[in-house]
Amino acid sequence: MKRRDFLKHSVIGGFGASTVFPGLVSNLSAAPASGQWGKHEPFKGIFPIMQTPYRDDESIDSEAMKKQVNFVVAAGGGGMVWPQLASEFYVLTEEERIDTAELIVKEAAGRCPVIIGVQSTNYWKVSLKLAKHAEAIGADGIISLPPYSSRPTVDKAADYYRNLAQTVSLPIFIQNSGGSFGPALPTDTIIELSKEYPTIAYIKEEASPVTHRIGAMVDKGEGLLRGVFSGSWGSTLLNELRRGCRGTMPGSSITDVYAEVFDLFLAGKEKEAQVIFDKVVTLVTFKKNFSVPMEKEILRRRGIFKNSRTRVNPYDITWDKVDQQEFEVLFNNIKPYFRV
């Protein structure tokens, strides 16, 4: 089966289409050997990494977080993810992560899947505790970077995911980012893990060359993996979809625009999808200079956040007049495609 045909079947079918195209059956859509899928599976679509809103005293703004949850649902998000890199998980306390995860699951109220991030420097204890908590509160899955401190080996990272799979029965996303956030696991290692533990079923692939790695993962993972996703602000989404990717995990600020691109592509309207996506990529390219603060600024402009505050800004750069002018142009270019 061609990757494109697989995508049409697996995603359109998952959206509740009453007719399945004959002959477009893939082992990737089969039930896992370990049991039934969750009610939202197979996961697909735009799964934004949600930002963490702060009040002026730097405490987490729970009301703004609730607004963000409802925004993602209304914007057509396929799911929501928190807390990962774009959520600034590294400056959150364990208590904040537990309390806010509970808030998100409660506010989402089963309207779309919630995936909880569980990575920690204390991956042999705190990560497993967070995973158990996510399962206890009714999260639909968990996601985790591999161990990323002390330069862990691929084998140590693989053992970590085995421990997660032995601890909870939830579907597990491996976030394969590489660089300073743990070793980039080879495709074959991920496939072997999925063979051992069927709940290790999803990948967020960000290691270079990301599009080719996604294609290889889709091909080699047939019958084992339930879905391959991407990250990196969704900057190569159309290329990835053509390779059989199930979705992407960008920031949350323009969830509705990504969803429009995704829906148009699945409807066979690639030219229309490309027109909008070109504007998205231009904004994303600019946003990479400022990362999370700019993501939060868009959320503020859209009435979801009260400010664009971060606890620690790893990008020691401030907007000057030219930056502000360019942002206004790019923001206004994308604004006509807002659904919410």
156-179 per-position pLDDT tens digit: 999 999 999 999 999 999 999 887
Angle at 250 between CA 249 and CA 252, to 5 degrees: 110
Mean pLDDT of the chain: 87
pLDDT digits (tens, 9 = 90+) for 255-302: 999 999 999 999 999 999 999 999 999 999 998 888 888 999 999 999
Quickly tell me which residue has 């799964």 as its tokens.
47
Look up residue 2 and give its amino acid: K
Q: How is residue 267 annotated by DSSP?
A: T
Q: What are the domain boundaries of the chain?
A: 3-337
Give residue 291's pLDDT: 80
Annotation: CATH topology of 3-337? TIM Barrel (3.20.20)
Closest by alpha carbon to 215, among 201, 196, 236?
Answer: 236
Question: Residue 9: what pLDDT?
Answer: 40
Pick the closest to residue 26 from 286, 158, 258, 222 (CA basis).
222
By the 10 Å C-beta count (0-12 exposed, 13-18 middle, 19+ buried), 188 is classed as exposed
Which amino acid, one-letter code, is at 57? D
Residues 136, 170 contacting (CB under 8 angstroms): no
Residue 227 sits at the vertex; the CA angle it makes with 222 and 233, to the nearest 5 degrees, is 135
Nearest to 237 by CA among 291, 268, 274: 274
Residue indicated by tokens 């690639």: 270
User: ∠ CA 1-226-214 to the nearest 5 degrees?
Assistant: 70
Residues of the chain predicted below pLDDT 50: 1-35
Sheet containing 80-82: order of strands: 45-46, 247-248, 227-230, 200-205, 172-176, 141-144, 114-117, 80-82
Alpha-carbon dihedral 40, 43, 46, 48, rounded to 10 degrees? 80
Handedness of CA 68, 70, 71, 72 (dihedral sign): positive
Beta strands in 121-260 (DSSP E): 141-144, 172-176, 200-205, 227-230, 247-248
Mark out the alpha helices in 76-209 (DSSP H runs): 94-108, 126-136, 154-167, 187-196
Answer whether 242's CB lies under 8 Å from 222's CB. Answer: no
For residue 36, the model assigns a pLDDT of 56
User: Please, what sign has the CA dihedral across residues 55, 58, 63, 69?
Assistant: positive
Which pLDDT does position 330 carry in this prediction?
Answer: 95
What CA–CA distance (Å, rounded) separates 149 from 315?
21
Enter the tokens of residue 49.
Answer: 């990494």
Q: Which of 50, 33, 31 is nearest to 42 (CA)?
A: 31
Look at the alpha carbons of 129, 131, 134, 137 in this order and tell me if their dihedral is positive or negative: negative
pLDDT at 141 (0 to 100): 98
Q: What pLDDT shows up at residue 15? A: 36
